[in-house]
């Protein structure tokens, strides 16, 4: 599959007196096309009359103007995308009319850190406006690194790229003053040029950026940035409990070998027979949604949650209960403390009660899923081992079972091998404590 091509990338910054203006365009020979032929200097600002006209069209009456004080820059949840199709005819010599689009690409604060897509003539622009709160004029620095594509290009591949790159620049600004310090201007342009070149050629980019030393940073800093294009897929259809799944491929092709085995998948496949509905399969495979009997423990990877703004935003968005109100979203310190309390000594159901988890804020299933997928937590499994073989033989245990209970297989794996359910196996082993010991790890 051909890599969707980026036509151009340009950076917009909000000047405290002049308003939105283009800081630079990559590649440089596209400057006139992006700025509409008005690029006498590298920095281009929109015509105030056009900007004011469009600002009145897209203004949000319930929100203060962009020039409001620090109270305006209150963090909003990142849970929607904004898309606008421009149909009005504007006179412009370039492929886009920055006068017309400036107030859309540099929108009100409610649309900050949300993907914005604008179509104009034969091209479209993808952006991710960001505000950095700090000791700036008007208490914030606002910017948007915009990607330009031809209208025929599928730009959805770049939604995550635009977001991740914008957050990278934000972190560089917070830590090094990357945008406000002119010494980094050439480094920023090189970074954008390298990113565009790599993505257009290979669909991925690995950048090692060495920043020059400043008065604050005596030694040069090195920044590593890795990104890859992935296809986007439409939302999965909603599965009802009464639906009957039908296998259209061989079951063996879904079973992974050796250590990569997905025990839950294998238990599910066993009961798909073109007759059983989803609820029945769930009951037979012992994967009811109401089972909170697993134990989890944190790993050293949990520290990554404190080091990445992007990961924090993704975490809040993913684990927040859908019924949570906008002013009652969970904070990272609270989420981090909940993960830290998973010590492996309590079942999940007991842990929820012990730590008084706020169900109105946190979706427990998604909370655990996010932790497992990002390596913050891992499931504590039980490995049975024979401690009195002679007694097991006297009780008439099958030799196959005795040989399997050597401490190398966890209960889920054993249940699958024996063709039984995990709950039944646990009940059987617990009834013979003098024969078997359960080791948790």
- The more confident residue out of 326 and 301 is 301
242 contacts: CB under 8 Å, gap ≥ 6: 277, 278, 279
Looking up tokens 């359910």 gives 421
Query: Is residue 335's pLDDT more than 90?
Result: yes
321 contacts: CB under 8 Å, gap ≥ 6: 359, 360, 361, 362, 363
**How many H helices and E strands in the chain?**
16, 14
Confidence of residue 376 (pLDDT cuts 50, 70, 90): very high
What pLDDT shows up at residue 84?
43
Q: Is residue 99 within 8 Å of residue 50, measured between CB atoms?
A: yes
What pLDDT shows up at residue 145?
93
- Section 207-234 average pLDDT: 69
- Section 131-139 average pLDDT: 86
- The more confident residue out of 254 and 403 is 403
Specify the range with the lowest mean pLDDT, choosing from 62-76, 161-175, 290-304, 336-350.
62-76
Mean pLDDT score across all residues of the chain = 77
Q: Please give the model's pTM, rounded to 2 decimal places.
A: 0.47
Q: Tell me the pairing of strands 382-386 and 377-380.
A: unpaired
Tokens of 391: 């007694």
- Section 261-272 average pLDDT: 74
DSSP 18: T
- The more confident residue out of 380 and 215 is 380
Dist. CA 160–CA 167, nearest whole Å: 11
Confidence of residue 236 (pLDDT cuts 50, 70, 90): low
Confidence of residue 146 (pLDDT cuts 50, 70, 90): very high
Q: Tell me the pairing of strands 123-127 and 116-120.
A: antiparallel
Q: Could you give the 3-state DSSP secondary structure of residue 78?
A: coil
| Interval 43-87: pLDDT, tens | 555 554 444 433 332 333 333 333 333 332 333 334 344 444 443
At residue 4, what are phi and psi to the nearest 5 degrees?
-60, 130
| Interval 275-291: pLDDT, tens | 888 878 876 766 544 45
| Residue 35 CB neighbour total at 10 angstroms | 27
Q: Is residue 406 within 8 Å of residue 392, measured between CB atoms?
A: no
Q: Is residue 180 within 8 Å of residue 144, measured between CB atoms?
A: no
- The more confident residue out of 347 and 338 is 338
What pLDDT shows up at residue 356?
82
What pLDDT shows up at residue 210?
76
State the maximum Cα–Cα separation within the chain, in Å, rounded to a whole number: 94
Q: What is the 3-state secondary structure (H, E, C) of 39-53?
A: CCCCCECCCHHHHHH
List the alpha helices (DSSP H) in 79-158.
Answer: 98-105
Percent of the chain with pLDDT over 70: 78
What pLDDT shows up at residue 220?
63
Q: Where are the beta strands (DSSP E) in 282-405?
A: 295-298, 343-347, 377-380, 382-386
* Angle (CA) 430 432 435, round 5°: 120
What pLDDT shows up at residue 212?
66
DSSP string, 380-438: E-EEEEES-HHHHHHTT--HHHHHH-BSSS-HHHHHHHHTS-HHHHHHHHHT-TTTEEE
Looking up tokens 């342009």 gives 189
Q: Could you give the 3-state DSSP secondary structure of residue 287?
A: coil
Looking up tokens 């010494």 gives 183
């Amino acid at each position: 599959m051909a890599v969707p091509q980026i036509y151009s990338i340009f950076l917009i910054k909000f000047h405290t007196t002049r308003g939105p203006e283009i800081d630079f365009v990559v590649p440089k020979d596209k400057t006139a096309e992006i700025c509409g032929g008005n690029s006498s200097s590298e920095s281009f600002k929109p015509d105030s009359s056009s900007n004011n006209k469009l600002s009145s069209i897209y203004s949000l009456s319930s929100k203060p103007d962009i020039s409001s004080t620090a109270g305006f820059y209150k963090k909003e949840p990142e849970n929607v995308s904004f898309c606008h199709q421009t149909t009005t005819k504007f006179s412009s010599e370039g492929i886009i009319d920055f006068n017309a689009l400036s107030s859309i690409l540099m929108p009100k604060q409610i649309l900050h850190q949300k993907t914005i897509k604008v179509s104009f003539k034969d091209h479209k622009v993808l952006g991710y406006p960001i505000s950095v709160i700090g000791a700036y004029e008007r208490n914030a620095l606002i910017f948007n690194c915009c990607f330009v594509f031809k209208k025929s290009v599928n730009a959805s591949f770049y939604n995550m790229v635009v977001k991740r790159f914008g957050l990278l620049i934000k972190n560089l600004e917070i830590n090094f003053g990357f945008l406000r310090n002119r010494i980094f201007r050439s480094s920023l342009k090189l970074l954008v040029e390298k990113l565009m070149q790599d993505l257009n050629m290979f669909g991925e980019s690995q950048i090692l950026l060495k920043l020059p030393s400043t008065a604050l940073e005596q030694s040069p800093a090195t920044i590593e940035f890795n990104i890859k294009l992935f296809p986007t897929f439409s939302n999965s259809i909603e599965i009802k409990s009464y639906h009957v799944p039908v296998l259209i491929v061989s079951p063996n092709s879904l079973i992974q070998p050796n250590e990569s085995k997905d025990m839950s998948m294998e238990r599910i496949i066993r009961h798909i027979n073109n007759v059983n509905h989803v609820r029945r399969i769930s009951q037979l495979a012992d994967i009811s949604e109401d089972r909170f009997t697993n134990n989890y423990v944190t790993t050293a990877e949990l520290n990554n949650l404190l080091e990445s703004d992007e990961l924090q935003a993704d975490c809040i968005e993913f684990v927040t209960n859908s019924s949570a109100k906008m002013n009652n979203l969970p904070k990272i310190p609270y989420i981090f403390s909940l993960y830290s309390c998973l010590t492996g000594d309590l079942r999940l159901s007991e842990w929820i009660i012990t730590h008084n988890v706020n169900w109105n804020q946190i979706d427990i299933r998604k909370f655990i899923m996010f932790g497992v997928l990002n390596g913050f937590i891992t499931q504590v499994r039980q490995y049975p081992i024979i401690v009195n073989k002679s007694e097991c033989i006297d009780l008439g245990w099958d030799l196959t079972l005795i040989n399997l209970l050597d401490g190398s297989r966890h209960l889920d794996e054993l249940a699958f091998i024996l063709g039984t359910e995990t709950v039944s196996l646990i009940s059987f082993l617990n009834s013979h404590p003098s024969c078997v010991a359960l080791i948790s790890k």
